Each structure stands twice: as C-alpha cells, then as structure tokens.
Amino acid sequence: MRDDSRRWVRWYPAVVIAVVLLALGAGTVSNLARNPQPQLVSEGRKVPVATFSGPYGELVGRAVADLDALTLPNGATLAGADGPWRYVWPRDASFVAGAYCAVGQHVKAGRVLAFLDGIKPSSGRWEARYADSGRPILDGREPQLDGSGWVLWATWFCRAGSRHWELVRGSADQIVAELGADGLPSASPDYWERSESELTLGTVAPLLTGLRAAVAIATELDQVEAAQRWTAALEKLSVATDERFGPAYPRTPARAVSFLEPGLEPIGVGGGADAIVTVLGPPFAPARAIVDHAIDRAHAVLTLPSGGVTPGEDWRADGVAWTPQTALFALSAAARGDRATAGELLTWLDHYRTGSGALPEKVNRDLEPAGEAPLGWTSALVVLTGAALEQPLPIP
C-alpha cells in the first residue's frame, strides 16, 4: 500500500491558499454586486465665481457660488439640485448658514436661519428633511435628533440667538428632554441616514456642540435659568459620553475595553471609527488631547488608498470616498492648527471636482466624481475650512 501522506503535506498549503483566494474573490464579487459603482448624477453648472483670499481662494469661491445656487430666495437650502437631494436637511442647512457667516455674508446666512426658524418643530425632534416650502417630508424616515444640536451651533456661530430665541429654547429643551438617567439620549438616525437600534456618536457629538452653543447664547442674553438648566444637562451628557464612548470615541460604544500592559493605550472592542469624531474637537468643541488622538486615529483608519475618506469602519466596504467626511477631517485639521493635513485634504477635494468645477458627493472606485454635484454639505465644509486657515474660527 502506497503512503501518499508526504505528497499531501507538500500540496496542502497550496490547496488552502487556493481555497482562501477563491473565498476572497467570491466575497469581492458579492460585495461589488451589492454595492455597484456609483456614477455622477449631475456635474453642476458653470457659475460666476468670486475668488476669496488664501491659497484655496478659487475653491472656496466656487463653493460659495454653489451654495448661492442651492439657496432659494426664501432661505431654503437644498442639499443638491436633483432628485432625492432636492430637499432641506436641518443638518446641511446649519452648515450652510455657518459657512456664509464664516466669510462675512451674514444677510444670506440670516435667510437660511430664518427658514429653519420657520420650520422648527413645535415639539419633538426635527424631521430628517423638508420640502423647500417648509413642509416636512414624511417618507418613512425617522426624525433625527442631531438636528437640534446643529441648528443651535449655527445660530450661535452666526450670533443670531436674540433673533431666534424660540428656536434656541425649543431645540435645547428637546435635547434636555431626551437625556435619560444615564445622561445619554435614546437611539436616533444620524448623518448615515439609516434607522439605528443603538445610540451613535453621530447623534451625541452634535448634541454636545448644540448644548454648549445654547449655554453661550443664554448667558449672553441673560437668560439665567435656561443657562443653568442647559449647563447641568451639558455636564451630564459630557460625563456620560466620556464614560461610554471614550477613549477612542467610536461610532457606537465599545462592547469592551482591553487594558494591556502599563504604558500601552487601552483598546476598545467593537464600535468602529466614525468621521463624526471630528465634531468632538475644534471648531465645535474645545481641544482635548484624548480627542485629538481619537480624531487622528480615525483619520488614519478611514483613509482610502485614493486619499479620500469613508464615513466609518462599519460603513459598506466599497472603496468609495465621500467628500463630506473628507472635508470634516480637513476642517478639523485646520481648526486644530494642522495646516499640512488640511491642505492635503483640500487639494484632494479640489482635484476631484467635476468638469464644471463643482464638488461632488463621492469619488468612486475608478477615481471619478460620483453622486450629486454640487453637494451643499461638502461646499459648506470647504468654505469653513478655508476660513479656518485664514483665521481661527470661534468655538462654543
């Protein structure tokens, strides 16, 4: 009887490698089938551009021009000009108002804030999106709590608290009402635009910024009781956020934290990095070393080979870079004094503009602009980043 064991031992590694490669190939094919290559929906129109100061003046000028094109006379700011983007998200509109104020265009910002004031909820959370008439779009999307934080930040940033006090009070009180005994709100959809069963940093970070802004507004307007109440809620939420999300501040709280040898950083298990960690630092919150480290780590983890950024570790692995998240890291870097990183990311965004010069929503696997263009959120973030490189932005 022949003993073929030696032959089997010799071929075994090759067989294992072949099986693994086949499995990986099948997984890749399945992933690409489930996540088809996004294409450009619209490349935007050529528009007159006023160049601003600084090395990225033309890029910023084009972004402002596109915000002008997306902002209607009644102050409704569309996320994009086409199809499902042709609505007003409170989140995006807040950034547009902030962008206008960052470059001194306060009249335009005032119209955007006035529109938001006119659609503010009488109670409860902001809806995910609204028609340009102000009518809520009730299409099955759940209300999104982060809107309460973003409109507060924009109102404070534009120094418009006295004109929009009822908006400030309603949004801040809604945040307070959402906080549970543990100091945290319940789960809510966030900028990922999907239903969430677990609380995300995408909800918590804007609420921290919003409460901080609300306290500043109330203090300036001598609204003592409101300032005290919102300060207490801010402290409660801040402590709970550090306890549940620190030290890495992932998208969802880590299931466990592994403490290694003395001197080595603890490692969180689960959660996954998320680009929204940038909102825990400047220009949305005072700088902290632990947050700086979390932002830098998330940027390294989420950067694709193209140089752009994916929204999170738990986002679909399709090789597509998203411009709003890339611009968030650019703004964070500029606000924290890292001019080199901010410049690199702005240069990347500049490189992947469409033929008309507009900033697209995505850059696909073929390194081509994809999705809607111009995208209001990205344009606003680019304007804020350019402004932050010229002079420090205020921090609530």
Tokens of 313: 């570790």
b/e code 352-366 from CB counts within 10 Å (16+ = b): bbbeebbbbbbbbbe
- DSSP string over 169-233: HHHHHHHHHH--TTS-PPP---TT-S--SS--HHHHHHHHHHHHHHHHHHHHTT-HHHHHHHHHH
Supply the pLDDT for residue 254. 78
CA atoms within 13 A on the CB side of 369: 23
**Distance between CA 122 and CA 134 in Å, rounded?**
14
Q: For the segment 239-267, what is each residue's pLDDT rounded down to a tens digit?
A: 999 999 999 999 999 766 655 555 555 55
Tokens of 117: 């004031």
Residue 138: CB atoms within 10 A of its CB come to 10
Supply the pLDDT for residue 315. 95
Q: For the segment 45-78, what is each residue's pLDDT rounded down to a tens digit?
A: 888 788 888 899 999 999 999 999 999 999 999 9
Domains delineated in the chain: 35-50+246-396 (no CATH), 71-244 (1.50.10.10)
Task: Kindly state the DSSP code that residue 138 receives in the 8-state scheme.
Answer: -
Give the chain's residues under pLDDT 50: 1-2, 8-9, 15-16, 19-21, 23-31
Rounded to 5 degrees, φ, ψ at 136 are: -65, 140
Query: Do 309 and 363 touch, CB atoms closer than 8 A?
Result: no
